[in-house]
Chain A
Amino acid sequence: MKTTSLSPNIEPTTNSAGTGHDESIRLFLRKLTMLLTLKNWLMMATLWCFGWGIVALSLRATVATPRKALLFGIVGILVAAVVAVWRASKQLPSHAAVRSLLDRQNESGGLLMTAGEQPLGDWEDKLSAIQLPRLRWRSARAWGLMALSVSFVAICLLLPIKYVSGIAGRSLNVGKEAENIAAQIEMLKESQIVTEAKAEELNDKLDQLVAEAAGEDPAKTWEALDHLANSVEKAAQDAVADAAGKQEQLDKAEALAEGLMAGSDQMDAQLMTEAMQTLSTMMQGAMANNEALASQLSPETQEAIKNGSLNSEQLKEVANALSQSKQKLNQQLSKLNQSGMNRGNINPNSLKGGASANKRDNSGLSKFLKDNAQKMSVADAVGQWCDGNGDKSGNGPGRGGVSRGRGDAAMTWTEGSDEKNAKFQEKALPPGSVAGLQDSQLVGLSASAPEVQKGNLSAHGVLNNAAKGGGSAYTQTVLPKHKNTVQKYFDRK
């Protein structure tokens, strides 16, 4: 065990009579003061260093206080020395107590104690040599703790900021985005746009992504989230396109069925037969793509459709069933549109056979078929009719379209151009700056504004060959979705 001794060699202190004893006592008290001061200082400095380290660590972790500012803690060690001296003076035994101690140690038999109270006379000679006792301090533990505390302070001050801040272990909060994607997957599953197995697979991917989202590389997480969102939206887009096709198919069949109901007497037998065959083909195709449609038709009607021999009642039943199927499809499209997944902005009302198409008067279709019987097949004629190119009344201007019809035809404004015809279409993006700052990777913190180095200008923008800017204290990481959008804008022709 490490011990500290202030009197390694006991040497007799020869004293002159009277004041010699007092000098020995003062000498002993001085040594005891030094030892107690050292001991107290070690203890307080140790405590201070531990406290200093904790405070330094906390300040660096929370407000990123610079190391130089934290070095002022060394003043505490000096203060501890002053307090140690004061405390040692309080711990010192009295003069009389030390005298009795020396009496005991020197086996003076009370003479030394008496010397402080009475004149000794001839007995002074017996006290000519006073030996000071050795002070022993088991200091190993104190020195060890001191070394530990100093090491602790050094570690707290020198530890790199990335280990101090605790950012490394922070996970990235993508809960809101994941929630949106999960809601979209659920909607697609409910709408039977994706199968349950596919929906489950997407959900598993989403859960894994949320679990592995970490703060070290937020761009990677966001990229994966974007990819998943694109997959979901792709499925929705495909569903929209498919629904649009079905809608058109149903619209044509409905128009032909209503046309046959209203003007079957205007068509000859041959045209009638061809129209019935065309309707039969359309209906069979529609029923193949839409199981619900078949369930709305009676077996007799389905049989008549196969045979191409529908009577007026069956035509009415077919028209009603087609109308309801169109309505359902329209609702599905509206839901997709509301969910934000219809990136192509296909408005269900703008589709042929949409809400606006329900108002179309198909009573003139029979005449249109008869007039164009020699020019085109029934299927083409129905297509032309549904495109709004037919002369609905047979005499007046057209009721729709911008490329056909007479000049006095009423102008009909449709929705904007669809995705097929537009190279770039404006759309709102989610805010990038705030989210980017919050979720971006932290590479460093400073107490003051960073210095702008004019000689090292940062590249501004994401485009290749872009001119360098004037430097900025604030830069941000552009997320993939934003990159793609900007790239797409500049790529337009």
Chain B
Amino acid sequence: MIGDGRSFLFRPPTTDHRPPTMQTILQPEEINPAIELANRILTQLDRILLGRADLHRLVLTGILSRGHILLEGLPGVGKTALVKTLGDLLGLQFKRVQFTPDLMPSDILGSHILQGDGDGRRSMEFHAGPVFTNLLLADEINRASPKTQSALLEAMQERSVTLLGVTRQLPDPFFVLASQNPIELEGTYPLPEAQLDRFLFKLNVGGSDVDTLDQIISTRRRGEAPQPEFVVSADELRGLFAVMDRVYLPKPVSRYVSRLVAATHADSPEATDEVKTYVSYGASPRAAIAMAEAARAFALLAGRPTVGFEDVKAVAAPALNHRLVLNYKAKFDGVDAHGLIARLLSQLDETGIKLPRDVEIEK
């Protein structure tokens, strides 16, 4: 929550009190500062963490959407560094919890401790856990027991913690960026689908290419990343969120999101043959909400006040890949969620226009 205030003066747009149908969309003078700020954040991320531009854009999209993100990748690929850098850059309070099988819910949420005061009276005093922060890194979340996982996931959904009948709100904004290791699955508790659904995105953090690695070892002593050149203030961040809220979602695009989510269900009329064959359960309505929000944020990062089909397509894979439950036949045939979503996107016409088979509209 620290703002350097050196160069970026960002005034959040005033609230428009006109009815939704009469509201004008964000005008250039309203959106341009937000776009500039977002691009500066992205530039900083790309400068600090090399070779991950697409991942940075999606992570920032998730943050602007106020969603939680699950990062999946091998150890040492920079998951923790990404979250830490993001916390530093956004001026958000950052805490990290290393999840282990013996981690208890109270280790995350906090607990009441009996304490005595100077008068000799004793009382139960609440000691907040690491969840009371803006940005929580839940490292290797799948190593904790389901009990602990569910405690965190409840906090993620409600953005509040209730202990001994007292509900305490978590700081705003509150993000959980969890990581999990796709290998070394022995002794782990994979997140059930219902809990995975709480995450806006599931992003795969892959390895770096040769040029990136060369750049890292040649420019970074012991791999230490440089410090951010600026920190986004809380007001600026709230201003970004306010602008994001006013990014307009046209009806055809919202319709496309709905059709896309519906098409992940095998019984949908627009489901592809592949979906019918390999998908046991499709994406939930929460997926549609997540996609709509993420598409807004992506449009903002692209410098537009309105959401287009391409924004939906850009966020569809990270928003849907962990929400599709594939059957065993998919595993046998080597079909994964990412490939299935990519083919679904290519087959489902965005506009819903149905022309005769031999008539085409050239793209």
Contact = CB atoms under 8 A, between A and B. Distances in A.
Q: Which of A96, A98, A113 has most chain B Cβ within 10 Å?
A: A113
Contact of B252 (A100, A133, A142): A100
Contacts of B356: 36, 39, 91
Contacts, number: 121
Contacts of A104: 308-309, 350-351, 363
Contact of A108 (B23, B308, B363): B308
Interface stretch (A118-126, A213-221, A227-235, A396-404): A118-126
Given A108-B308, A110-B299, A134-B362, 14 more contacts: A35-B359, A93-B351, A98-B351, A104-B350, A105-B363, A109-B299, A111-B304, A113-B308, A118-B25, A123-B27, A123-B305, A135-B360, A135-B362, A141-B358
Interface string A38-80: 0100000000000000000000000000000000000000000
B28 interface: yes
B24 A121 contact: yes
Interface string B136-180: 000000000000000000000000000000000000000000000
B363 A96 contact: no
Contacts of A99: 252
A138 interface: yes
Nearest to B295: A110
24 contacts: A39-B356, A39-B359, A91-B356, A98-B353, A99-B252, A103-B252, A110-B248, A110-B250, A113-B250, A114-B25, A114-B248, A114-B306, A118-B23, A121-B24, A121-B25, A123-B28, A123-B305, A133-B362, A134-B361, A135-B362, A136-B359, A136-B360, A141-B358, A142-B358
Interface string A322-360: 000000000000000000000000000000000000000
A353 B253 CA distance: 120
A131 to B, nearest CB: 11
The 8 closest A-B pairs by CB, nearest first: A110-B306, A113-B250, A100-B252, A109-B308, A110-B308, A93-B353, A109-B304, A134-B362
A119 B361 contact: no
A377 interface: no
A284 B308 CA distance: 129
Nearest to B256: A100
A99 B24 CA distance: 19
A178 B253 CA distance: 86
Contacts of B310: 107, 109
Given A120-B25, A139-B358, A96 B252 contact: yes
Nearest to A5: B362
B292 to A, nearest CB: 12
A97 B355 CA distance: 12
Interface in A155-195: none
B359 A133 contact: no
B355 A101 contact: no
A107 B306 CA distance: 12
B253 A113 contact: yes
A136 B362 CA distance: 7
Given A39-B359, A133-B362, A135-B359, A96 B251 contact: yes
A86 interface: no
A117 interface: yes
Contacts of A116: 250
Contacts of A36: 355-356, 359
B302 interface: yes
A137 interface: yes
A113 B255 CA distance: 12
Contacts of B34: none
A104 B348 CA distance: 14
A116 B306 CA distance: 12
Interface string A284-328: 000000000000000000000000000000000000000000000
B307 interface: yes
Chain A contact patch, size range: 35 or more
A91 B308 contact: no
A100 B358 contact: no
Contacts of B362: 133-136
Contacts of A123: 25, 27-28, 305
A32 B361 CA distance: 10
Q: What is the predominant secondary structure among interface residues of chain B facing chain A?
A: loop
B224 to A, nearest CB: 39
B352 A97 contact: yes
A362 B349 CA distance: 122
Q: Which of B23, B299, B351, B352 has most chain A Cβ within 10 Å?
A: B351
Nearest to B23: A118
Contacts of B354: 93
A97 B252 contact: yes
Interface of A: 32, 35-36, 39, 91, 93, 96-101, 103-105, 107-111, 113-114, 116-123, 133-139, 141-142
Interface residues of B, number: 35
B293 interface: no
A464 B253 CA distance: 98
B28 A122 contact: yes
Interface in B331-363: 350-356, 358-363
B306 A113 contact: yes
B306 A100 contact: no
Contacts of A139: 358
A134 B360 CA distance: 8
Interface in B292-316: 299, 302, 304-311
Nearest to B255: A100
A35 B362 CA distance: 14
A332 B127 CA distance: 141
A135 B359 CA distance: 7
A109 to B, nearest CB: 4
Q: Which of A103, A105, A108 has most chain B Cβ within 10 Å?
A: A103
A91 B28 CA distance: 39
B19 to A, nearest CB: 11
B248 A122 contact: no
Contacts of B358: 39, 137-139, 141-142
A8 B21 CA distance: 39
B24 A119 contact: yes
A118 B251 contact: no
Nearest to A125: B28
Contacts of B307: 109-110
A167 to B, nearest CB: 44
Nearest to A7: B362
Contacts of B306: 109-111, 113-114
A450 to B, nearest CB: 52
A100 B350 CA distance: 8
B294 to A, nearest CB: 14
Nearest to B253: A110
A137 B299 CA distance: 34
A83 B302 CA distance: 47
B237 to A, nearest CB: 24
Q: Which of A35, A100, A123 has most chain B Cβ within 10 Å?
A: A100
A111 B355 CA distance: 24
Contacts of A120: 24-25
Nearest to A135: B361
A442 B157 CA distance: 94
Interface string B273-287: 000000000000000
Nearest to A10: B362
Contacts of B361: 101, 105, 133-136
Nearest to A40: B356
A35 B358 CA distance: 11
A103 B299 CA distance: 14
